[in-house]
Structure 1
Amino acid sequence: MEPAVVSAVRELLPVLRDRAQDVEDRRQLAPETVKSLAETGFFRLLQPARFGGFEADPRTFLTCVRDIAGACGSTGWVASVIGVHNWQLGLFPDQAQQDVWADDQGIRMSSSYAPTGKIRAVDGGYRVSGRWSFSSGCDHATWVLLGGIVPPGEDGAPADFRTFLLPNTDYLIEDVWNTVGLRGTGSNDIVVKDAFVPAYRSLSFNDTARCLCPGQEQNPAPLYKIPYGSIFSYAITTPIIGMATGAYEAHVSYTRERVRAAYAGVRAAEDPYSQVRVANAASDIDSAWLALENNMRELMAHVTAGTKLPMPLRLRVRRDQVRGTELAIQAVDRLFENSGGRALAVGTPIQRFWRDAHAGRVHAINDPERALSMYGRGEFGLSTADAMV
């Protein structure tokens, strides 16, 4: 089934490429785009099999994300973050999964994990209030995953960073998304006014970091034993690598026909400096992708064999994730700089990929110093405690 999904996604790419400017102009994906992606089976790749999912190898999912983002950056971004939520829901207690998928296995969730709201523990669950920003694709979802910190309890219980799952009857969407990059992601604000969230519709980041979550009892597949910090971080970097790939393809296609008037009508393709820049950009993109692919292969080998994930591998995953983003941005910049003034025109793919990639770069998970420092601590034999490893 998985190869069929990959093939169906690739058949859709010309349509997504043609719609890219429309996506940017409307500031969100068109309903028909989301419907088409759903029909390929893409959103079910990481979904538990008992709810109609494929429980696919994450590399299949990430390959599709890269391809989609190479056609349209905003579509690739939304597809990735919406698609990875089906994996996370598989970690929640069974009743939470039943609440979402029992009647409709095609339900989608958006998210906003920064703990900007107010959480209060009450009998049976939590009261949740506040505003959460950057919820990509929220207009195409009917549930949301929100990050929040439960304050220390009077019984001495420590503060707990958790994810809370809410239906769209418990929140409002405020249209605030008007940006220079990733304009088509519709990453609007989620506003919640004193909603009750049952305890079973929450999940501690401590559990995801330990790779010991309630949902593993019903979903025992190796897929659900991967660290959250590994799979979610790759769901952010992969679209950026895809955008760099799209920029590369657009640049090469354009340069093959481009004539440089400022250099006596010389064909740009004959310029040795352009050739070197393209080679460097291609190498950066390949290096970024191959490192992520290899790391995910290693992760899956360990969880499939039932062996404990080595901390050096988990740290390397994050190291290569932030470096993958850096390499993709480096490639996009090099290609944009080599494209000439006509690449500045509104509607050209290269400038859209350039803006989208830089917009994705500012996501908090791409903070290079934090991830690289964690890797360095591990290499020097120092302890590392971070929920995103």
Structure 2
Amino acid sequence: MNDILAANAEKTEEQGRPTAESLRVARAAGAFALRTPQKYGGEGAGAVRTARVLAELGRDCPSTAWIAGTCLTAKTLAAGTVSEDVEREVFADPDVLFSGSGNPAGGRAERVEGGVRLTGRWPNMSGCEDATWAGLGVMLDGVFSFALVPTADLTVDRTWRVAGMRGTGSHTVVADLVVPEGRVGALRLPGPPEDRMLYGLTVLGPVVGATFGALDAVRAMFASGRTPYMTPYTSMGESPGARHWLADAARLADRAERTMLSVAAAADAGGLSAADQARLSEDMADSARDCRSAIELMLDLHGASGFATSNALQRFWRDVAVGSRHPHLNPYLAVERYGAVLAG
């Protein structure tokens, strides 16, 4: 565990963005450079490495891990999309923090003298208040494209008011400016299957990590000398039922992690068919549901005190509840897609 991330997790949530210390820890861990191309000094990491790092960060601060995941997705989309000159510019610092949204619905792009005019609003831009670059999905000349804009040139509308993942600062950015044409490029859709799996893993990793963070909190409660309320037991561990519940929660967390790493290994191996991709997407949704089930058992173990605002368990619970509902982890759509592929 990283003591600095854990110590700053509550403050990160309170202020709605990671503390400066938390961002320094993530940067020092190489989290922001994982998907910076190697030719620009980054790691160009694969899916297993990416999932492990994000889960490790999420164990201490899910919001910081989530922002790192968003950064990795935006960098993956940017690489090979914009001009080489722009790549050299934006990746000059391999650890630079990106924010991004691939949703073009709220914005407009049109060619004008001097470049491309961007106007509109892009919601759910995790980490936008701390990022140097923002990647914005746009439709340009009828083509789904990606524009890179310095966040200093955008306005942030603080619209992120949610129950969990509060520290991600996933606000709305507002644009009304002209950017050089080289900073806008057509996205390679649907893109490599491995990248599509990676996008899901960047949101699953923080969720799995948060589940283990919750497990750490519950195991600390077992070690604290606390007793089950109104029972003759002298410790939580003396109760067979409590031990059983703890084992079940740990089993579900372990299964979620194994599933995540299995998907990541398949992505790194490559050669994924349409059926493989649909099945692996369903696996990721199952992993997220295991995380939710594990935390429910932990809350039962902890009782009402687990919901105290001073208790880290309730924060992990809210973060998992929100993060696991990301569209990349949607269980009924995953089943729908897999069934459609199997049915031809």
TM-score of the superposed pair, with normalisation by structure 1: 0.81
1:338 alignment partner in structure 2:
301
**Is this contact kept in 2: 1:44–1:86, CA < 8 A?**
no
**Is this contact kept in 1: 2:74–2:98, CA < 8 A?**
yes
CA distance in 1, matches of 2:42, 2:293: 36
Q: Could you tell me which runs of 5 or more consecutive residues in structure 1 were left unpaired when the two chains were aligned.
A: 1-9, 154-158, 212-225, 303-307, 383-389
**Is this contact kept in 1: 2:36–2:91, CA < 8 A?**
no
Does residue 332 of structure 2 align to residue 369 of structure 1?
A: yes
2:286 alignment partner in structure 1:
323
1:209 alignment partner in structure 2:
190
CA distance in 2, matches of 1:34, 1:18: 13
1:361 to partner: Cα distance: 2.5
Which amino acid letter does the alignment assign opposite residue 127 of structure 1?
A: R
Task: Give me the identity figure in percent.
Answer: 24
2:212 alignment partner in structure 1:
245
Task: State the Cα deviation string for residues 110-164 of structure 1 (Å, max 9, x = none).
Answer: 01223332324426864321111121111111111122344xx6xxxxx433332
2:320 alignment partner in structure 1:
357
Q: Determine helix, strand or coil for the equivalent of 2:129.
A: helix
Which amino acid letter does the alignment assign opposite residue 220 of structure 2?
A: S
1:181 alignment partner in structure 2:
164
**Is this contact kept in 2: 1:277–1:334, CA < 8 A?**
yes
Q: Determine helix, strand or coil for the equivalent of 2:293.
A: helix
1:282 alignment partner in structure 2:
250
Q: Could you tell me which runs of 5 or more consecutive residues in structure 2 were left unpaired when the two chains were aligned.
A: none
1:169 to partner: Cα distance: 4.3
Aligned ranges 1:57-206 → 2 under 5 Å: 57-93=46-82, 94-102=84-92, 104-122=93-111, 126-150=116-140, 159-196=142-179, 198=181, 201-204=184-187
Does residue 221 of structure 2 align to residue 254 of structure 1?
A: yes
1:234 alignment partner in structure 2:
201
CA distance in 2, matches of 1:71, 1:379: 39
CA distance in 2, matches of 1:259, 1:278: 14
CA distance in 2, matches of 1:324, 1:179: 23
1:219 alignment partner in structure 2:
none
Which amino acid letter does the alignment assign opposite residue 303 of structure 2?
A: G
Q: Determine helix, strand or coil for the equivalent of 2:59.
A: helix
Which amino acid letter does the alignment assign opposite residue 237 of structure 2?
A: A
CA distance in 1, matches of 2:76, 2:16: 26
Q: Determine helix, strand or coil for the equivalent of 1:327.
A: helix
Residues 197 and 79 of structure 1: is their aligned pair in 2 closer, same or farther, counting only changes over 3 Å?
same
- Larger mean CA deviation between 58-67 and 163-172 belongs to 163-172
Query: What root-mean-square deviation, in Å, do the aligned CA atoms of Structure 1 and Structure 2 show?
Result: 2.2
Residues 299 and 259 of structure 1: is their aligned pair in 2 closer, same or farther, counting only changes over 3 Å?
same
Task: State the Cα deviation string for residues 255-313 of structure 1 (Å, max 9, x = none).
Answer: 233212322354222222222222222222222221221222122223xxxxx432222
**Is this contact kept in 1: 2:78–2:135, CA < 8 A?**
no
CA distance in 1, matches of 2:32, 2:69: 9
Which amino acid letter does the alignment assign opposite residue 136 of structure 1?
A: S
1:15 alignment partner in structure 2:
4
